[in-house]
């Protein structure tokens, strides 16, 4: 087990049952941070937490649907009850069903808005009062390279990630006692691409994802932001495949 100066921090991670969320939980636990995993698939969370504990890490989990404010409140309350405080919220849960706007996949648009935007806002809403009371805390919000530029088939997805960046920047400007970090991954190994139902968009995604980086690359960026001294706020990190 690697020890560091942030060893007592309690880190909450949404969307932790796979991909970036899972990789982040495993890495931070290895670094001796205390992690609380949230996602809808509790069978996967249970398996991940069991493996973390076998390796000497400290981890808990709870079922979580980020689109529900009540669920998010219960998730944060659970973590605070277990450890007495929370220090970092990693708003990672996200969806990426891509399609051209003319396909009018309105249900998919709404689901992305609910998870990718409202889910982040819910994470902020329930943790911010605690951070303000503690006069310390950090939000790590997962955006995307799609939060900096727009791609065909991805207008709504990119819009949700632009929103994450805007919300994060606004929160940063309004705050003097908390840290706000945006992590913007490029093509990364995850289950996101599997949510695309449109055949033409799926072909575009497959081409775009011919070069991908492992989820652990994003986990390392998140760990870097968390490990900085308290007077350092890493505002944004963009991580993309080489070339």
Distance (Å, whole) CA 195 – CA 188: 14
Cα angle for residues 50, 52, 55 (degrees, 5° grid): 110
Q: Which two tokens stand for residue 86?
A: 């929370």
Tell me the mean pLDDT in the region 161-174. Answer: 98
* Bridge partners, residue 185, by sequence: 239
Lowest mean pLDDT among 2-11, 167-176, 214-223: 2-11
Q: Which two tokens stand for residue 77?
A: 């309350």
pTM for the complete prediction?
0.91
How would residue 2 be classed by pLDDT, with cut points 50, 70 and 90?
A: very low
Nearest to 50 by CA among 84, 22, 82: 22
How confident is the model over 53-108, as pLDDT tens digits?
999 999 999 999 999 999 999 999 999 999 999 999 999 999 999 999 999 999 99
The active-site residue, picked from 78, 157, 162, 204, is: 157
CATH topology for 10-231 is: Rossmann fold (3.40.50)
Q: What is the dihedral of CA 137, 143, 144, 147, to 10 degrees?
A: -130
148: pLDDT strictly greater than 50: yes
1: pLDDT strictly greater than 50: no
The pLDDT, as a whole number, for residue 243 is: 74
61 a catalytic residue:
no
Tokens 């949700």 found at? 160
How would residue 199 be classed by pLDDT, with cut points 50, 70 and 90?
A: confident
Distance (Å, whole) CA 83 – CA 54: 19
Nearest to 88 by CA among 178, 184, 218, 183: 178
Tell me the mean pLDDT in the region 212-220. Answer: 93
Cα→Cα distances 2→17, 56, 147, Å: 23, 11, 33
For helices 19-30 and 215-227, the axis angle rounded to 10 degrees is 50
């Amino acid at each position: 087990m690697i020890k560091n100066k942030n060893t007592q921090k309690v880190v909450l991670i949404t969307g932790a049952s796979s991909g970036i969320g899972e990789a982040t939980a495993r890495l931070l636990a290895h670094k001796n941070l205390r992690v609380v995993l949230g996602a809808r698939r509790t069978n996967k969370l249970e398996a991940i937490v069991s493996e973390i504990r076998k390796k000497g890490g400290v981890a808990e989990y709870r079922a979580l649907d980020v689109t529900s404010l009540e669920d998010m409140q219960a998730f944060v309350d659970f973590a605070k009850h277990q450890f007495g405080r929370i220090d970092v919220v990693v708003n990672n849960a996200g969806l990426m069903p891509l399609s051209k706007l003319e396909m009018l996949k309105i249900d998919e648009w709404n689901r992305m808005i609910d998870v990718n935007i409202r889910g982040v806002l819910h994470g902020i809403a329930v943790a911010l009062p605690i951070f303000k009371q503690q006069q310390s805390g950090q939000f790590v919000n997962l955006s995307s390279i799609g939060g900096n530029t727009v791609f065909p088939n991805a207008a709504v997805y990119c819009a949700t990630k632009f929103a994450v960046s805007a919300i994060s920047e606004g929160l940063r400007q309004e705050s003097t006692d908390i840290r706000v970090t945006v992590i913007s991954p490029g093509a990364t190994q995850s289950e996101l691409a599997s949510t695309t139902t449109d055949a033409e968009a799926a072909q575009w995604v497959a081409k775009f994802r011919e070069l991908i980086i492992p989820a652990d690359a994003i986990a390392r960026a998140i760990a870097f932001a968390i490990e900085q001294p308290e007077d350092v706020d890493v505002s944004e990190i963009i991580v993309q495949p080489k070339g």
